[in-house]
Amino acid sequence: MKTEALYAQIKALILSDRIRFPDIFEIIPAKTVSEDCGFDWVIFKHKLDNLHLFTLNEMMAIANTIKIPFRYMLQLVRKARGDEGNI
């Protein structure tokens, strides 16, 4: 129940454009997100340090877990990677 409330808080911040991708993990532990998405923790942790390694399917899984449209997650990750202006 507590996790659901944290995801709801993150969702509200994302939809209002008031949070950056790395800040998500200050609200809810990265390990929790990893487990909730069914990711291997070691690999997920490595990808957090190397955002270009995230696949679209992994970003989709995170978006689904937070219950936000995929485009918001894609935007957050692209902004965190510094490539939001590149197509």
- Residue 52, CB-side half-sphere exposure with 13 Å CA sphere: 3
pLDDT by position in tens, the chain (length 87): 689 999 999 999 999 999 999 999 999 999 999 999 999 999 999 999 999 999 999 999 999 999 999 999 999 999 999 986 665
How far apart, in Å, are the Cα atoms of 83 and each of 3, 20, 51, 69, 78? Answer: 30, 14, 11, 20, 5
Q: What is the pTM of this model?
A: 0.92
Contact 51, 21 (CB under 8 A): yes
